[in-house]
Amino acid sequence: MRIAKYIANAGYCSRRDAEKLIYSKKVYINNEICETPSIKVLKNDIIKINDKQIIIEKKIKLWKLYKPTKIICTNKDPQKRKTIFEIIPKNMPRTISVGRLDYMSEGLILLTNNGDFARKLELPSSHILRVYRVIVKGNIIKNDLKIINNGVSINKIFYQVKIIIEKNIHNKTWLIIKLFEGKNREIRNICKHFKWPILQLIRLQYGSIKITKEKPGQFREINPIPADFL
């Protein structure tokens, strides 16, 4: 395994940030400075950054968090906004989010200690169900739902989702949206195209894991890891 990937899979930082550390001469392999991210590490090699040994946890762990709104899913933010990694317990090992929810979205976000596992769960080929509840302003034209549910192209990107109307109260429509790919801002792009102003967007489910009674900011480990994730 290449050194940059090793560091990322250990949960220390992203692969890109690992490459920056390597070029800054801050990564050591067996007490020698690592010169390039392409170097491959072996099973018994000792990897250190800032005099701290970096070890890949053999046991994969998984946690779920109810992400509040106005929180981002990255490790660092140039705008200094709060991140999900600032609201999880301080004694946690380094974790990686499985995909992301945007700044104004809320609900289920998964975290793991293994980078390869995170990427596996994100891949469209894994065909993992995501379920969202979306509240939009106004009423929905049922023919629009028919168009979307048959698959729709927006700005040359094809979206395949399933949308049902959950309820309609006081000029607001509650939608349940199911998808399997998780393309960038998929739901927001669809709603914008059909002129549905979003009032609230909540992820309810990822695979067999659901938000149940959790409230924004609540966090817990998933143990054992569900069979559909393995």
Tokens of 172: 């607001």
Cα 164 to Cα 26, 104, 195: the distances in Å are 52, 22, 17
Collect all residues with Cβ–Cβ distance below 8 Å to 102 and sequence separation of at least 6.
185, 188
* Set 51, 77, 102, 144: catalytic member: 102
**Three-state SS at 112:** strand
Select from 35, 34, 2, 4 the least CA-distant residue to 18.
4
The helix/strand/coil state of 122 is helix
Contact indicator for 63, 220 with CB cutoff of 8 Å: yes
Distances (CA, A) of 215 to 51, 65, 73, 182, 206: 39, 9, 17, 23, 17
**133 and 175 Cβ atoms separated by less than 8 Å:** yes
Active-site residue flag, 102: yes
Task: Give me the active site residues, please.
Answer: 102
